[in-house]
């Protein structure tokens, strides 16, 4: 059977969504579990965001902003309308092309590991759409927290959306979390790849955290969790630099 080829999955998804087609992203986990999402939300304007926690989170954005994993540019466009200076970065060339076409003024092809002081200093780092999962693992997360500290001002803030993997009362989910523990991984350290049509990403680690796990992960870093938004499995954490 023909295997999917590695390519710019997000670019293909966004190109079809922008053309008015229904684009469904497939998340494949290493235990065989599959999740399917309509990617149309990546292009929805702020007034039509159906996630109340994401809308509330925008109230905490201030100063100069870095949007990590900018996708179709929905966050950048909203913040531009508010008069804020925002840079959107993504590792997908197609995503950057989509952002530029939609009117994002400053969208750059930069992977999360390529973030550096050459971008300047930021007051707010935004990681919505579950993009906090890019932290990947305990070790990588702490390295990225150090990086974020270096590129933010003393009043730096991170607005991060994630998912509490322990909140689902589902035997498949419980078994996966336990399997991760036995492998020496964090319970919510998912091993996934994203697929669309005949394309796939490489396998990557995607980290999901409960609020308690997030607090523990932040110990010894420059960051503290000061507030959470949302009472469901998905929530937004507001992180600020420790003073």
Burial of residue 156 (number of CB atoms within 10 Å: 0-12, 13-18, 19+): buried
Per-residue pLDDT for 1 more than 70? no
Closest by Cα among 70, 72, 167 to 128: 70
For residues 141 and 217, give the distance between their C-alpha atoms in angstroms, rounded to a whole number.
8
Write the CATH number of the domain with boundaries 50-186+208-241. 3.40.50.150
Per-residue pLDDT for 99 more than 70? yes
Residue 125: the pLDDT is: 98
What is the rounded average pLDDT of the residues 73-98?
98
Q: 116: pLDDT confidence band, cut at 50, 70 and 90?
A: very high
Q: What percent of the chain has pLDDT over 90?
A: 95
Higher pLDDT, 129 or 223: 223
What is the rounded average pLDDT of the residues 44-72?
96
Q: Where are the domains of the chain?
A: 50-186+208-241
Residue 218: the pLDDT is: 97
Residues with Cβ within 8 Å of 172's Cβ and at least 6 positions away in sequence, in order, are: 33
Segment 10-28, tens digit of pLDDT: 999 999 999 999 999 999 9
């Amino acid at each position: 059977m023909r295997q999917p080829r590695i390519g710019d999955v997000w670019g293909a998804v966004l190109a079809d969504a922008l053309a008015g087609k229904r684009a469904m992203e497939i998340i494949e986990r290493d235990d065989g579990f599959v999740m399917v999402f309509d990617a149309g939300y990546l292009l929805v304007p702020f007034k039509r965001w159906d996630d109340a926690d994401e809308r509330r989170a925008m109230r905490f954005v201030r100063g100069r902003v870095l949007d990590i994993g900018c996708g179709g540019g929905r966050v950048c466009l909203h913040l531009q309308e508010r008069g804020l200076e925002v840079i959107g970065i993504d590792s997908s060339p197609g995503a950057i092309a989509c952002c530029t076409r939609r009117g994002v003024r400053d969208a750059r092809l930069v992977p999360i590991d390529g973030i550096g002081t050459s971008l300047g200093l930021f007051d707010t780092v935004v990681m919505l759409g579950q993009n906090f999962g890019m932290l990947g693992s305990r070790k990588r997360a702490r390295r990225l927290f150090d990086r974020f500290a270096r590129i933010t001002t003393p009043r730096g803030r991170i607005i991060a959306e994630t998912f509490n993997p322990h909140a689902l009362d589902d035997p498949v989910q419980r078994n996966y979390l336990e399997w991760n523990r036995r492998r020496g991984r964090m319970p919510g350290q998912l091993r996934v790849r994203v697929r669309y049509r005949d394309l796939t990403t490489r396998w990557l680690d995607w980290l999901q955290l409960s609020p308690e796990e997030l607090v523990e992960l932040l110990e010894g870093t420059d960051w503290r969790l000061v507030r959470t938004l949302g009472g469901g499995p998905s929530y937004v954490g507001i992180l600020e630099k420790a003073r």
